Amino acid sequence: MKIRTGLGYDVHKLVEGRELWLGGIRLDYELGLLGHSDADVLIHAICDALLGAANMRDIGYHFPDTAAETLNVDSKILLRKTVDLIATKGYRIGNVDATVCAERPKLNPHIPEMQRCLSDVMQTDIDNVSIKATTTEKLGFTGRMEGISAYATVLIEKD
Annotated binding site: 10-12, 36-37, 44, 58-60, 134-137, 141, 144
Dist. CA 71–CA 50, nearest whole Å: 22
Q: Could you tell me which CATH number the domain at 2-158 has?
A: 3.30.1330.50
What pLDDT shows up at residue 94? 98
Q: Is 155 helix (H, G, I), strand (E, B) or coil?
A: strand
Helices (H), the chain: 41-53, 59-62, 75-87, 111-122, 140-143
What does the pLDDT look like over 71-125, one tens digit per residue? 999 999 999 999 999 999 999 999 999 999 999 999 999 999 999 999 999 999 9
Strand 129-134, strand 92-101: pairing: parallel
Count other C-beta atoms under 10 Å from residue 90's C-beta: 12
Dist. CA 52–CA 91, nearest whole Å: 12
Q: Is the dihedral of CA 140, 143, 147, 149 positive or negative?
A: positive
Annotated binding site for a divalent metal cation: 10, 12, 44
What does the pLDDT look like over 28-80, one tens digit per residue? 999 999 999 999 999 999 999 999 999 999 999 999 999 999 999 999 999 99
Q: Is it the case that residue 1 has pLDDT exceeding 90?
A: no
Q: Is it the case that residue 7 has pLDDT exceeding 90?
A: yes
Q: Is 57 helix (H, G, I), strand (E, B) or coil?
A: coil
Q: Is the peptide bond before 109 cis (omega within 30 degrees of 0)?
A: no
Classify residue 117 by its DSSP letter. Answer: H
Q: What is the pTM of this model?
A: 0.97
What pLDDT shows up at residue 47? 98
Q: Is it the case that residue 159 has pLDDT exceeding 90?
A: no
Domain boundaries defined on the chain = 2-158
Dist. CA 91–CA 43, nearest whole Å: 18
What pLDDT shows up at residue 40? 98
- The distance of Cα 130 from the centroid of its chain, to the nearest Å, equals 12
What pLDDT shows up at residue 75? 98
Kindly state the percentage of the chain with pLDDT values over 90.
Answer: 98
